[in-house]
Structure 1
């Protein structure tokens, strides 16, 4: 009969041994996820810096590319400004080739205005709605032009909404009264006479020294006030 050394027989691990093994495993996994997390963070930062560098580089290149397009735009040759001419890129090609650059963003504004002049209102709105800039003149102007596209299509309700959006963006005494007058006209065309009255009244109260504050707005407030009193 073969004698078996009992010490050579595998023993069932005790609860304490199981706990230790589990703890070691958890520590190992934790270290692994720390390493993964570190590399993921590193790659994210690297990707962001790379993206930033590329957009900056593209901005420098594309500014040269669109010089001629801006020239055509200022000359009211909107078709050439949009599509380019010869070796010179137009706004559309710049936007497509260099997305996410500051210049492409500005080109969306130019393209929208160009399409507005060509009476292609859907395209104008498409590009103007993509334009985003922390600038109290151009950003508000883009919304006002979107309002113009709706006004040209006799959608006065939507036109008024965009004029008001422009007027409420960083109010100032130079441009805000202009947008309020546009909004007032659109509201009246849409039969919203009270809202039209409020726009003119706001000009009289807040912007009395503007080009509209001492003349047009006062006359329109008086006219609409008389009209509303008859209701």
Structure 2
């Protein structure tokens, strides 16, 4: 009498079950493939561990350097520039509403009473927002004084996120 596999064949012993699952299960196949790839990845990470940590360290230093620069260099410079610009801005506003416009615009541009003018602030703090704003005020002062070449020079250096 011949033997054949019946439908719904189920192995009886534990070893037969494990062998059957290994040969016929697609899930087991997928897990075996994943295990192999994970092992290769782990080996690669162990092999290149120094380089990986070096890159992570460099990225961390760059980020911390950028944040430190903004917090400890750029913000104090911005505050200092805004404080320096107060008197020059007052001269500029007085020139717009006053009668002695030329002398007030000159004071706004060149400073007075020991304070910086817009030109000095634009040069000294040009990479801050206040320095950028000083370029605008200097350009507008020259425009009101009808010195168009200098006005264009300062206004072209001014940049803004908003439309004017």
TM class by shorter chain equals: 0.5 to 0.7
Q: How many pairs are equivalent?
A: 113
2:92 corresponds to which residue? 73
Q: Mark the CA change 1:40 to 1:106 in structure 2 (over 3 Å): closer, same or farther.
A: same
Which residue number in structure 1 is paired with residue 70 of structure 2? 52
Question: 1:118 aligns to what?
Answer: 145
Q: How much does 1:118 deviate?
A: 2.7
1:36 aligns with 2:54: yes
Residues 1-231 of structure 1 aligned to structure 2 (within 5 Å): 28=47, 30-53=48-71, 54-74=73-93, 75=95, 76=101, 77-135=104-162, 139-140=163-164
Q: Distance in 2 between matches of 1:35 and 1:120?
A: 58
**Which structure's relative contact order is higher, taking Cα pairs within 8 Å and 6+ residues apart?**
2
Paired with 1:106 and 1:57, the residues of 2 have a C-alpha distance of: 16
State the 1:111 CA deviation: 0.9
Q: Aligned in 2, Cα 1:48/1:115: closer, same or farther, shift over 3 Å?
A: same
Change (3 A) 1:31 1:134: same
SS in 2 for 1:127: helix
Quote the Cα distance in structure 2 between the aligned partners of 1:107 and 1:39.
39
CA distance in 2, matches of 1:31, 1:98: 44
Distance in 2 separating the partners of 1:80 and 1:125: 20
In the superposition, the TM-score normalised over structure 1's length comes to: 0.43
Equivalent-residue separation in structure 1 for 2:153 and 2:134 (angstroms): 12
Q: Which deviations, in whole Å up to 9, do the C-alpha atoms of 1:107-158 show, x marking residues without a partner?
A: 11101111212333232222212222233xxx42xxxxxxxxxxxxxxxxxx
Structure 2 portions without partners, runs of 5+? 1-42, 96-100
Q: Secondary structure at the match of 1:66?
A: helix
